[in-house]
Amino acid sequence: MASSARRLAVLALALLLTAGACTDAGDDRPDLHGPTAPPSGRPLAPGVVHEEFTADGPAGPVRVAVLRVAPDAKVRLTGAHGRRLATAQTVREIARQTGALAAVNGSYFDIRGGKAFSGFEGDPTGLYAEGDQVLSEARNDSAALVLGYRDGRLDARITEVSTPGRIEAEDAASRPLDGVNRLPGRLRPCGGVDGRRLSAAGRLVRDDPRTGLCSVPDEIVEFTPQWGVDTPIGGPGSVEAVLSADGRVQRLRSPAGGPVPARARVLYGIGEGADWLRDHARTGRRLDASMPMHGPDGRTLAGPVDSVVGGGTRLLTDGRVTVADRASASDRPPRTLAGVTEDGSVLLVTLDGRDPGVSEGSTLREAAGLLRSLGATDGVTLDGGGSTTMVVNGRLRNRPREAVGDSVEERRVSTAIAVLPRR
């Protein structure tokens, strides 16, 4: 207990001294700093501590909750999702189903009421992988939290990840595999690295500035059993190839739409993608559909990979704040953050907002400063706003809100990062 108290005292001092430190030469604007009261550290398991405090920010107080997982913690830190990827569940429900000691919300997802809602609430809109299986492809090579274990120790890192999918037919024909577990023909967010790649390859992309959605008329998308519901009914000319566990074509369905068999996969084609499947997906023959994960060097993602949760804005790189000024502005919603410290510990952090006078939220730059003050050298945002949720021992530890004046309510989300007891 004495060593724990000393560590918390050092943390409090570090918050006071470093949170307002300059992030770049000539930048001396204030970050979140404090706490106004000593952090309350509660051990959840050997090597796992839950802390809560109120930080002082330029706009007022901000309620902060932290899960700190040491590399030798007697738990397993992993990505998790609900019963089906096509539907959403609360973080508390995901934690209960997985037996998690604690959890925070994870990746971004398609949300009901959004400008370009696909009809599948919970569908991840960025990278999500379990083991070496990509269940939702990367977007614009964004940063992700990569979790793995080496000799029983947590090996965590934050890095940019791409997912260059490919389909190889038995007759030697090949083409890109465009996505996994999403409605074909839709690219979100529109533009960026993904849009430039498609344009460079001569692929047609239609941009709808009202919704931020790109329509891509020629695609092949893979559906896995984790999708959990029937694939969407396709338009005239759409085709699905139903593959066995070893990749052999069992049958074609046209128009597309139907169940995904257990221990099997479905390749769903529209436009040119549907034509390609008609030409090359012959019953009884193999189709090798793969979606590897590559690091920023273009090579296979290094190190152990148990799960990968895609994030949004990269906040810290090697101890430097890397978020641009214009990305912060004065917008202060609730935020969920992930950080990795120099000793390999993982920080999962929620910052409450939309509660005037109690918790004002933070800009991206303020969030980066706070994450660094907690000891992180690398950091990334996860989904935020009304999704920001932390659950510990089955209890909600923050106060999620959809908007100012709304009551506290847990939003259903796509994925979570869960602290599981080690079995």
In total, the chain counts a number of residues equal to: 423
Q: Where are the beta strands (DSSP E) in 87-182?
A: 102-105, 128-130, 133-136, 143-150, 153-160, 165-169, 174-177, 179-180
Domain range list for the chain: 45-164+295-351+376-423, 167-290
pLDDT band (50, 70, 90) for residue 90: very high
Q: Please, what is the angle between helix 2-18 and helix 364-373, to 10°?
A: 140
What's the pLDDT at 213?
A: 80
For residue range 394-405, what is the model confidence (pLDDT) as tens digits? Answer: 999 999 999 999
Query: Alpha-carbon distance 333 to 361, whole Å?
Result: 5
Q: Which residues face 152 on adjacent strands?
A: none
For residue range 57-89, what is the model confidence (pLDDT) as tens digits? Answer: 999 999 999 999 999 999 999 999 999 999 999
What's the pLDDT at 199?
A: 84
What's the pLDDT at 329?
A: 67
Stronger pLDDT, 19 or 224, i.e. the higher one: 224
What's the pLDDT at 414?
A: 95
What's the pLDDT at 118?
A: 83
Query: Alpha-carbon distance 420 to 29, whole Å?
Result: 39
Instruction: Give me the residue label for tokens 């919704």.
Output: 211
Instruction: Give me the residue label for tokens 């344009």.
Output: 199
Question: Could you tell me which of 351, 347, 321 has the C-alpha nearest to residue 336?
Answer: 351
- Write b or e for each residue in 47-58: b if 16 or more Cβ atoms lie within 10 A of its Cβ, otherwise e: bbbbbbbbbbbb
Query: Alpha-carbon distance 381 to 142, whole Å?
Result: 11
Query: 124 with 113: CB under 8 angstroms?
Result: no
What's the pLDDT at 337?
A: 98
Is the predicted pLDDT of residue 238 greater than 80, yes or no? yes
Question: Could you tell me which of 387, 371, 373 has the C-alpha nearest to residue 314?
Answer: 371
The mean-pLDDT minimum among 1-10, 164-173, 377-386 falls in: 1-10
Tell me the whole-structure pTM to 2 decimals: 0.90
